[in-house]
Amino acid sequence: MLQIQYIRENREKVLEGLKIRNFKNPELIAQAILVDEERRKLQTETETIKSEANNLARRIGEHFKKGEKDQAEALKLETRLLKDKEKDIDTKLSELTVSIHDILVQIPNIPYSLVKQGKSAEDNEEVFTSGPASSGTFAPHWEVAAKHKLIDFEAGNKITGSGFPLYCNGGAKLQRALINFFLDEAVKAGFSEYQTPLLVNEESAYGTGQLPDKEGQMYHVTADNLYLIPTAEVPLTNIFRDVILKAEELPLKITAYSSCFRREAGSYGSDVRGLNRLHQFDKVEIVIVAHPDHSYNTLEMMVAHVKSLIEKLELPFRILRLCGGDMGFTSAMTYDFEVFAPGQSRWLEVSSVSNFETFQANRLKLRFRNEETKKTQLAHTLNGSALALPRIVAAILENHQTPEGIRIPAALVPYTGFEILK
């Protein structure tokens, strides 16, 4: 959520930013400013009244203490009038506060200067590509998985439903190896390892922006009003809800492995074949809380980390800087990582690394104390997948097939304990 003061003071900049996103409702900005103006006017009014009422109450107290009952009673009458007036204004004030909030939650983050205008995925900029994929004929991963009995989609179907695969034997071992590999690499890069709750409350879902707009994406446990996390970003970032950090604690780098749960309502076709899109999957997430002056250096550092992971897995990939129209609601700049799946001749997104600037921090009330100004200031939050498992597994199965089985990349062999998966 953007800060209303920021919108008020940077109206033109905000509108330009929304244009880069192809945002459909730029009139919300004018509305927000208008309502805010009215709200502040009422606030001044009610505060003046409160101040008067406080003074009267104090005088009444003094009169009572001196035993001057008549004077006290006279002042009481005066107070009653003020109270009626105040109640009136307060009602309007809270209405306006709600309506300004309702407007603000509909306004997406303002893109960073490097982000290009664009409407859809077609307009994304490729900023890196690892070179041509190996040539030859490749089977799609679901065939490879079936051949070697690595994943039992039917069993998962029976136990739960589609999108909940059962990993078997070597397939399960590969998953565990990848999780450990990713976590170890993150720790080596300076991230502290956490293990988080997989269910979160409403406040947390709201804090990272899943609520109110992405309600349908999450599994909701209605009996206890909890949500299954769609990503470890939610619990990890909410560690810092209502927290004031010291400047020297930044950048704060944390990581966690978690299962992730997504309803993925409305996804069909080849998109959901095999491991391409699941309701439950595993992911190692990295989260950084950064000083606003350094958050874009931090973003580049995260990109370099994710890049090194994919390189160590010896997979062909590319990095895209998302255009305004394809970027998530809360992000100021996002890099997507896509690995090539030659069995399907398509790119699969395996990581998305974003800088949210103060957009999440504002909702979370995540601040740090600025040493120069001595004041609290919103921090920047960033996160990224490092990495999401299923599509990495799919890419390994499709890229590293040999007549003997699937070749395990050298970096991963210490974790699997075998060089060929069959």
Nearest C-alpha neighbor of 252 from the set 361, 109, 328, 389: 361
Of 270 and 370, CB closest to RNA: 370
CB of 201 to RNA, least distance (A): 9
Structure tokens at 167: 């990993």
CB of 80 to RNA, least distance (A): 6
CA distances from 386 to 32, 38, 50, 54, 157 (A): 37, 46, 53, 56, 28
Long-range contacts of 44-53 (CB under 8 A, 24+ apart): 45/89, 46/86, 46/89, 46/90, 46/93, 49/82, 49/85, 49/86, 49/89, 50/86, 52/82, 53/79, 53/82, 53/83, 53/86
Give the binding site for RNA (CB under 7 A). 5, 40, 43-44, 47-48, 50-51, 53-54, 56-58, 60-61, 64-65, 76, 79-80, 83, 244, 367, 369, 375-376
CB of 56 to RNA, least distance (A): 6
Of 61 and 216, CB closest to RNA: 61
Instruction: Give Cβ neighbours of residue 227 (< 8 Å, ≥ 6 apart).
Output: 199, 200, 201, 202, 205, 210, 218, 219, 220, 221
Of 366 and 388, CB closest to RNA: 366
CB of 157 to RNA, least distance (A): 28
CB of 196 to RNA, least distance (A): 16
Of 186 and 366, CB closest to RNA: 366
Query: What does the alpha-carbon distance between residue 260 and residue 282 come to, in Å, rounded to a whole number?
Result: 6
Report the interhelical angle of 169-188 vs 295-312 (nearest 10°).
Answer: 140
Query: What does the alpha-carbon distance between residue 326 and residue 119 come to, in Å, rounded to a whole number?
Result: 7
CB of 367 to RNA, least distance (A): 6
Of 60 and 395, CB closest to RNA: 60
How many C-beta neighbours within 10 Å does residue 5 have? Answer: 9
Of 36 and 336, CB closest to RNA: 36
Of 47 and 404, CB closest to RNA: 47
Four-CA torsion 381, 302, 181, 239, nearest 10 degrees = -10
Of 173 and 369, CB closest to RNA: 369
Of 89 and 322, CB closest to RNA: 89
Instruction: Give Cβ neighbours of residue 355 (< 8 Å, ≥ 6 apart).
Output: 112, 295, 296, 298, 299, 331, 332, 333, 334, 380, 382
CB of 306 to RNA, least distance (A): 33
CB of 170 to RNA, least distance (A): 27
CB of 239 to RNA, least distance (A): 16
Contact 121, 338 (CB under 8 A): no
CB of 291 to RNA, least distance (A): 16
Of 74 and 155, CB closest to RNA: 74
Residue type, 279: H
| Interstrand relation of 420-421 and 405-407 (parallel, antiparallel or unpaired) | antiparallel
200 strand-pairing partners: 227
The CA-based angle 403-409-415, given to 5 degrees, is 115
